[in-house]
Amino acid sequence: MSVYLDHAATTPLLPEVLSYYSEVLRDFPGNASSLHFEGQRSRELYNWAKQKVADCINANYDEIVFTSGGTEADNIALFGYLKATKEEHPNRKKVITSSIEHEAVIESVKELGKQGYDVYFAPVDEKGVVDFDYLKENIDEQTAICSIMYANNEVGTLQPIKEISQLCREAGCIFHTDAVQAMGKVKMDVQDLGVDMLSASAHKFYGPKGVGFLYVKKGTPLEPVFYGGGHEKGLRSGTENVPGVAAMAKALEMVTDQIEEKHDLYTKWTDQIIEACKQLEGVQINGAPENRTPGSLSLSFSGVNGEALMGMLSMEDIAVSTASACSSHSHRKGGSHVLSAMHCSKEFINGTIRVVTGHDNDDEQIDFFCDKLVEKVNLLRRLSNG
């Protein structure tokens, strides 16, 4: 039996999406920017996909910019906005983010620091929730943009996006959220959230790799960060990925329709995994149990190396990921920056695996995983105890 429990890393295409993706690849060869009939057919489908994506997040058609994925969307949001407003607002030099962002945002913000912006990394509490008081103190009339992720990729903790949006609005700064890990898992309504920009990536919600989108609220100034044929209103040049966006739209529609149903199923499974862990001592569940993306679990085991546990499970054809990194390697020192920011002990950071359920799992797989998890933790502890 093969059990894939790494759905925060990527998700397999839903069977319906795969078949639709193949159809579009085969039947829509035209360049969507061509004026002939093939081009126009592709353009119609491209526009349909854009409207579909907009509908799924309660946005307008012209507020969606298709990108190659989440990283590109984050970069366009941060660098594109600052480029567009640098001259108009020379006194807004502050860029605020959190200490647990994905590298796509963290590294971008660090680069902005090198370019002369004053960058702030808000701390989080032990559950991974951003320090709201810190944001209140630091988001002000000098702030250009604040970027806080919707859901964390390692522990699944959801952030108070609506409240942070409000803070930013009051300070007159732009708010961007990296919603890559939340899209398709929680109901997404950009009007209700009040965000100015939001990033998403199709392969995290059962769509294809290499495609994503940026929601840009109407009126938000944005300049391109790279140049070419002026596609996507000049913001993202490059031939339109018609099969990619069509399959993404199909996937987003399908997962959005099933959010509630999957929430209940995933909660049952994560409860079962937590229950299985009670057979073991020295287990810590990281994150906010009542406020995380459904199906996400970050589990730490004392006396166990997370990479070794992942390797042992992999030998049983079970795929999970680990937050631990071999600290003996010069390029991988420090392990998880997320768990460190949450003040997790080194012992637990070192013994952490991430388990994220998905559409392709079933009860039998979760039973198998629970048995093997307990078995392998005990095995590794025997190696360390003799």
* Contact residues for other proteins, defined by CB under 8 A: 303-305, 307-308, 311-312, 315, 324, 326-331, 333, 335, 346-347, 349-350, 380, 382-386
Q: Which helix (H) or strand (E) holds 201?
A: strand 197-201
Task: Tell me how crowded residue 157 is: count the other CB atoms within 10 A of its CB.
Answer: 28
24 phi and psi, to 5 degrees?
-70, -40
Write down the least CB distance from residue 310 to other proteins, Å: 9
- Please, are residues 287 and 88 in contact by the beta-carbon 8 Å criterion? no
| CB within 8 Å of 377: residues ≥ 6 apart | 280, 301, 304, 309
Q: Which residues of 50-77 are buried (b: 16+ CB within 10 A; e: fewer)?
A: bebbbebbebeeebbbbbbbbbbbbbbb
Closer CB to other proteins, 104 or 173, in the complex: 104
Closer CB to other proteins, 22 or 327, in the complex: 327
Could you tell me where the beta strands, DSSP code E, fall in 9-133? 64-67, 94-98, 118-122
Closer CB to other proteins, 1 or 315, in the complex: 315
Closer CB to other proteins, 91 or 330, in the complex: 330
Closer CB to other proteins, 175 or 348, in the complex: 348
Task: Tell me how crowded residue 173 is: count the other CB atoms within 10 A of its CB.
Answer: 23
- Please, are residues 42 and 174 in contact by the beta-carbon 8 Å criterion? no
Q: Which two tokens stand for residue 224?
A: 């391109």
Closer CB to other proteins, 116 or 386, in the complex: 386
Write down the least CB distance from residue 332 to other proteins, Å: 9
Write down the least CB distance from residue 334 to other proteins, Å: 8
Write down the least CB distance from residue 67 to other proteins, Å: 23
Cα gap 97→109, rounded to integer Å: 8
Cα gap 181→151, rounded to integer Å: 5
Q: Which two tokens stand for residue 320?
A: 């999970």
Task: Tell me how crowded residue 36 is: count the other CB atoms within 10 A of its CB.
Answer: 9
Write down the least CB distance from residue 178 to other proteins, Å: 21
25 phi and psi, to 5 degrees?
-55, -40
CA distances (Å), 169 to each of 16, 71, 172, 175, in order?
A: 40, 25, 5, 8
Longest dimension (CA), the chain: 73
| Torsion angle, alpha carbons of 287, 186, 359, 367, to 10 | 30
Write down the least CB distance from residue 258 to other proteins, Å: 31
Write down the least CB distance from residue 306 to other proteins, Å: 8
The residue annotated as part of the active site, out of 146, 168, 173, 326, is 326
Active site residue 326: yes
Closer CB to other proteins, 122 or 355, in the complex: 355
Rounded to 10 deg, the angle between the 242-257 and 37-56 helix axes is: 30
Catalytic site positions = 326
